[in-house]
Chains A and B, each alone.
Chain A
Amino acid sequence: MTHRTETIVTLQGVGRKYPGGVVALRDVDLDIARGELVAIVGPSGSGKSTLLHVIGTLDRPSAGRVVIDGFDVARLSDNELSALRAGRIGFVFQLFHLAPGLPVIDNVADGLLYTGVALPERRRRAVRALERVGMGHRLTHRPHELSGGEKQRTAIARAVVGEPALLLADEPTGALDRGTGESLMRLLTDLHKGGTSIVVITHDPDVAAHLSRQVSMLDGRVVGDRTAP
Chain B
Amino acid sequence: MKRAGSLRAAALSPRDVLRLGGHGLRARPLRVVLSALGIAIGIAAMASVVGISTSSRARLDRQLDALGTNLLTAGPGSTLFGDPAKLPEDAVAMVGRIGAVESVSAIGSVGDARVYRSDRIPVAQSGGIGTYAALINLPETAGATVGAGTWLNDATARYPAVVVGARAADRLGIGEPGPERQIWLGGRWFTVIGILDPVPLAPELDMGALIGWPAAQHYLGFDGRPTTIYTRIHPNQVEAVRALLARTANPAQPNEVDVSRPSDALAARAAVDVAFTGLLLGIGAVALLVGGIGVANTMVISVLERRAEIGLRRALGATRGQIRIQFLAESLLLSTLGTGAGLLLGSGVTAVYASVRGWPTVMPAWFVGGAVATALLIGALAGLYPAVRAARLAPTEALATT
Contacts and interface: CB of A to CB of B under 8 A. Distances in A.
A58 B315 contact: yes
B316 A95 contact: no
B1 interface: yes
A71 B6 CA distance: 10
Interface string A92-134: 0101010111100000001101111011000000000000000
- The 5 A-B residue pairs with the shortest CB-CB distance, nearest first, are A86-B317, A116-B10, A114-B317, A70-B2, A58-B395
Nearest to B15: A119
Contacts of B6: 2
Interface string A171-182: 000000000000
Nearest to A81: B7
Given A97-B309, A119-B15, A56 B315 contact: yes
Interface in B308-355: 308-309, 311-322
B307 to A, nearest CB: 11
Interface in A66-100: 67, 69-72, 75-80, 82-87, 89, 91, 93, 95, 97, 99-100
Contacts of A190: none
5 contacts: A56-B315, A58-B395, A59-B394, A84-B317, A95-B308
A53 interface: yes
B125 interface: no
B9 A101 contact: no
Contacts of B318: 82, 86, 113-114
A114 B322 contact: yes
Contacts of B9: 79-80, 82-83, 86, 114
Given A93-B402, A118-B13, 20 more contacts: A56-B315, A58-B399, A70-B2, A71-B1, A71-B2, A71-B4, A75-B4, A77-B4, A79-B319, A82-B319, A82-B320, A83-B10, A86-B317, A97-B309, A97-B311, A100-B27, A113-B317, A114-B313, A114-B316, A119-B16
B269 to A, nearest CB: 57
B13 A87 contact: no
Nearest to B28: A101
B10 A115 contact: yes
B23 interface: yes
Of B13, B312, B394, most A-chain CB atoms within 10 Å = B312
A110 B315 CA distance: 12
B137 interface: no
B297 interface: no
